[in-house]
Amino acid sequence: MNKKLLGVIGAAALLSAMYAGTSWYIGERVREESKDVLEAVNSYLAKNWSSQAQVTLRDYQSGVFSSQASYLLSFPATKTSTLKPDVLVVNHITHDALPLTKIASGQFDWLSASIHTRLEPTAFTEALFKASGGKSLIDGHTQLNAKGVAKINWVIRPVDHTQDTVRSRFAGATLVAELGPALSYTKGELKIEALNITDGKVTLDVKSSRLHTDTHPGQSGLNIGASGADIGELTLTSLNFPTIGAKKINTKLILSEKDNLLSGQSHYEIERVTIDKKDWGTLSLTASYDKLNSDTVKSLADLYSDIISRSLNNEPDADLMTSADLKQFWGYVQTLVKNSPAIRLDPITWQTGDGQSSISLSTVLAPVDLRSGGMGLNSTPIQSLDATIALSRAMAVGLLSAGLEASGVSASQARTTADKEIGHVLEVANKLKLGTLKGDRLVAQLTFKDNAFKVNGQAISAESLLTFASSVVPLVWLAADPVSTSDSPDEAATSRHLDPSVLASILTAADFTFEEVKDEQGDPLLKVSPGDSGAAKIDMLFVGCGTDPTCEDVLLRATYSPNKPIALKVANDWNHRNRWARAYVNEKHEAVIEMDISAYGGIGRDAVEGMVNTFFKIVRDFSKELNESK
């Protein structure tokens, strides 16, 4: 054998050894990289779901050109199942230094490995294999390069599976993603064609879903970057409740982190909301936030995950949250506001075919101390707040009308009732200067600064707002039983009007003496002894009664003695500064202050009592101003 031939054989042997050695080296790199990925996956599961959900390496068989690894994915056990919730995942790894099949298809990646992933049956997944014709639910291909970057292309097969009384029909999905070394970043999307879950009573149907992410772990472990979900259509059907539907649901979360402080934006949009196939319009929300402590946000997320994890193993009647959980929560909230974070809604909008309503809000929080014992905060953490509310009358009427129809009210009656009630609310709000009517819309500007709450630039107490809210929310909105469609609007409203005996009992409880008579129209009139209120006489006039023993409105009127010096400027100044009652000087040169209570649609006793007490306070305050004007 000549030297040249020996040289060729030697070179071939050396190349073969190098080739085999390189392939083996790639396999070892993959094995070491898989350890890092396994640790990162378990860390992610523990922080974002449950420490009981974990992946363990069951077996790893190394070869020169290929290897095989099997992993066991275990979930938290449930009280209702005797099967151990384990999923067996098998990776067949090809780490050929020169993969000829890849080169032939034009995919050349030096020092790379190809991983084929599939499921193997366990007692827990056996039913899924039967439902998919004995095939693995997952058929996954992953290309891993020398830098540890994994490119994933997985297919999840369709399945139709019934367990107990629940049937799940899954139309299949695809996962295309890129993972950085040791999950240092994640890019990709999961597309789900359709999912239908039903137990015969409740059915959830989801079509054309897409989850997407482009994130990396931040300093605290939160996913920094952009992520979101798009759902083409979602329907929830129940035998006992109306069918709720939504189309084109889009969500997006963007987070950035600097010096352990989070800034970001969340956006949610639903193109169409339906209830029993009736269109309820479009919803949109954009929220922005700055200077949130990332460690505290992560701690709050971990607390939430821990509570959910415990709920899977606790008895159904066990407390979901403990006092220790609540103390932790308030401690995290107190830490969260230390950096004076800012939160904005830019804005929330709700649009129907009738109109659009919106709320925009900007608030800055301030550091506060915990209460003694750690439950709650010593004071409000709101340093400042600026909000604008714009309500479309036509939209509100349309929505209330649709709601009444869903309760069994006829279309014409529902429209009439809705128009009257919404009109009343807007009229009262405008009269009390809680908003400004601009065409079809009521616009209100709310501010809170230096512990002062203002509406449209005028200071107002929270108590007054609550009293107003109680007085204008008709009981028909909250009624458990629908109004009978056989009733006329007046008949349906009869039980919802105000009975004079209610005011009589309130006056008696407050030690006021009074006399009930009839006015010129035959309506009830309560003549109340003014006592120490400062007024000369107080009348409570019931309006709109007719032959009905109950009435629609009540006018509260206090008249002052004409011997008091009265100036129109006093009344005008009062009206400018106060919005609950109006002051004027009558033809007898007497100062008069009046306040309305509207009971159309119904009003609770607590609300009436609050309005009556407010009136008597106003009467005393106005009397004091009259005396000071002497």
pLDDT one-digit tens code per residue, 220-238:
878 899 999 999 999 999 8
Q: Which residue ranges make up each domain of the chain?
A: 497-630
Helices 462-472 + 411-431 axis angle, to 10: 150
CA distance 155 to 171: 11
Q: How confident is the model at residue 278 (pLDDT cuts 50, 70, 90)?
A: confident
Q: Residue 201: helix, strand or coil by DSSP?
A: coil
Range scoring the smallest mean pLDDT among 29-43, 160-174, 470-484: 470-484
Q: For 318-354, write each residue's pLDDT tens digit.
A: 566 777 788 888 888 888 888 899 999 988 999 988 8
pLDDT of 320 reads 67
By residue count, the chain amounts to 630
In sequence order, the 6+-apart residues with CB closer than 8 A to the CB of 165 are: 199, 200
3-state helix, strand and coil shares in percent for the chain, rounded to the nearest 5: 30, 40, 30
Q: What percent of the chain has pLDDT over 90?
A: 19
Give the DSSP letter of residue 40. H
Please report which residue ranges of 314-347 form alpha helices under DSSP H.
Answer: 323-336
* DSSP letter string, 431-462: HTTSSEEETTEEEEEEEEETTEEEETTEE--H
pLDDT of 461 reads 61
Given a cut of 90, whether residue 33 has pLDDT beyond it is no
pLDDT of 508 reads 82
- pTM score above 0.85: no
pLDDT of 28 reads 64
* Distance, C-alpha 520 to centroid of its chain: 54
Q: For 233-259, write each residue's pLDDT tens digit.
A: 999 998 878 889 999 999 999 999 988
Q: How confident is the model at residue 377 (pLDDT cuts 50, 70, 90)?
A: confident
pLDDT of 611 reads 82
Torsion-angle region of 377 (φ positive above 0: left; ψ -120 to 50: alpha; else: beta): beta
Q: Does residue 482 or residue 27 have the better pLDDT?
A: 27
H or E segment to which residue 37 belongs? helix 3-48
Bridge partners (DSSP) listed for residue 389: 359, 444
CA distance 415 to 405: 9
CA distance 264 to 226: 10
CA distance 64 to 21: 8
pLDDT of 303 reads 82
pLDDT of 485 reads 36
Torsion-angle region of 466 (φ positive above 0: left; ψ -120 to 50: alpha; else: beta): alpha
Give the DSSP letter of residue 371. P
By CB atoms closer than 10 A (0-12, 13-18, 19+), residue 121 is: middle
Q: For 138-163, write each residue's pLDDT tens digit.
A: 888 988 877 778 899 999 888 888 87
CATH topology classification for 497-630: Yope Regulator; Chain: A, (3.30.1460)
pLDDT of 601 reads 56
End-to-end CA distance of the chain: 134
By CB atoms closer than 10 A (0-12, 13-18, 19+), residue 90 is: middle
In sequence order, the 6+-apart residues with CB closer than 8 A to the CB of 20 are: 64, 65
Given a cut of 80, whether residue 539 has pLDDT beyond it is yes
Tell me the mean pLDDT in the region 390-413: 82
Q: Does residue 2 or residue 432 have the better pLDDT?
A: 432
Q: How confident is the model at residue 104 (pLDDT cuts 50, 70, 90)?
A: very low
CA distance 276 to 238: 11
Q: Are 481 and 409 in contact (CB under 8 A)?
A: no
Cβ count within 10 A of residue 595: 20
Q: How confident is the model at residue 196 (pLDDT cuts 50, 70, 90)?
A: very high
Q: For 404-458, write each residue's pLDDT tens digit.
A: 877 777 888 888 888 887 877 777 777 667 777 777 788 888 888 877 778 877 7
Residue with the two structure tokens 């200067």 = 433
Q: For the chain, what is the mean pLDDT?
A: 78
Q: How confident is the model at residue 131 (pLDDT cuts 50, 70, 90)?
A: confident
Given a cut of 70, whether residue 74 has pLDDT beyond it is yes
What is the C-alpha R_g of the chain?
35
Given a cut of 50, whether residue 299 has pLDDT beyond it is yes
Given a cut of 90, whether residue 287 has pLDDT beyond it is yes
Tell me the mean pLDDT in the region 49-77: 77
Q: What percent of the chain has pLDDT over 70?
A: 77
- Kindly report the backbone phi and psi dihedral angles of residue 382, in degrees, each rounded to the nearest multiple of 5, phi listed first: -80, 115
CA distance 477 to 483: 11
pLDDT of 318 reads 58
pLDDT of 495 reads 35
* Distance, C-alpha 156 to centroid of its chain: 31
pLDDT of 480 reads 37
Q: Does residue 403 or residue 525 have the better pLDDT?
A: 525
Q: How confident is the model at residue 597 (pLDDT cuts 50, 70, 90)?
A: confident
Q: How confident is the model at residue 77 (pLDDT cuts 50, 70, 90)?
A: low
